[in-house]
Amino acid sequence: MSFTYTIDSQKIGGERIIGTIPSKVAIYWLENHADDFEDYFFDEDKNYHSNGRWNHIPKDYRLGNYWYENDNIFFGDNCELHDEGEIQVSAFEENAETNMFGTPILEVVADIPHPDLKTKNTNWEENLSPEMTEKFWPKDGEPELHVVYGQRIFKGNWEFEKFTIDHKFDAAKLTVLTETWAEEKVITGFMYEDKHIKSEGCTDGDHKWDRAWIDD
């Protein structure tokens, strides 16, 4: 006999990137326009014309229009592992009734606060190649690259892949997989025994605000 389940996680999260920019660009912004960097980073229609908002930025220190393309270290649409967050595990039924919005009405078999979950965390620094590590933290001389963080913050619900097992769900066998993002940890998936359950992103969320900064 088989049992299929879904996992949802609620509270706060959003699209996040960790990327790199040349150190000379980073230093220019940190020393000259630190307070404007967030607005500039998220501006997807940067205007450099004579009457444009960003016409005072020299060509050598300009970035691309799309903030989410600065993602060569990390990109994800993830729920934050939060003291006030929780997950719901529901029994999936192929022909379940739906509510007025067309969402299946499923039986919730477990409500688990985030602090009660077993966790396995990864730090992005651990996955850098020796060559990239040297560009950030050289043994001699100045760094070639600086790290930039960006997030479009939502409050809402994040869904994960369905998974099927041969027994009823046992919360003790579930581990949440997280990645360090600045001072936070974000949920990238789950492990249930040997099954890797991947995130499918935010399915129902309200945009709250944006934030970005250069790690100096």
Tens of pLDDT along 154-188? 888 999 999 999 999 999 999 999 999 999 999 99
Domain boundaries, the chain: 3-215
Mean pLDDT score, 83-102: 80
d(CA 93, CA 102): 14
- To 10 degrees, the CA torsion angle through 199, 132, 147, 12? 10
Pairing relationship of beta strands 107-113 and 74-80 according to DSSP bridges = unpaired
**Is the predicted pLDDT of residue 136 greater than 70, yes or no?**
yes
Average pLDDT, the chain: 92
**Is the predicted pLDDT of residue 105 greater than 80, yes or no?**
no
Q: Are 77 and 198 in contact (CB under 8 A)?
A: no
Q: Are 17 and 75 in contact (CB under 8 A)?
A: yes
Query: Sorting pLDDT into bands at 50, 70 and 90, what band is 101?
Result: low
If phi over 0 gives left and psi between -120 and 50 gives alpha, with beta otherwise, what is residue 141? left
Mean pLDDT score, 134-150: 94
- pLDDT for res 159: 93
Give me the phi and psi of 16, to 5 degrees please: -135, 145
**Is the predicted pLDDT of residue 60 greater than 80, yes or no?**
yes
**Is the predicted pLDDT of residue 96 greater than 80, yes or no?**
no
Residue percentage of the chain with pLDDT more than 90: 80
Mean pLDDT score, 11-40: 95
**DSSP element (H, E) containing 131:** helix 130-136
Query: Sorting pLDDT into bands at 50, 70 and 90, what band is 103?
Result: low
Give me the phi and psi of 124, to 5 degrees please: -60, -30
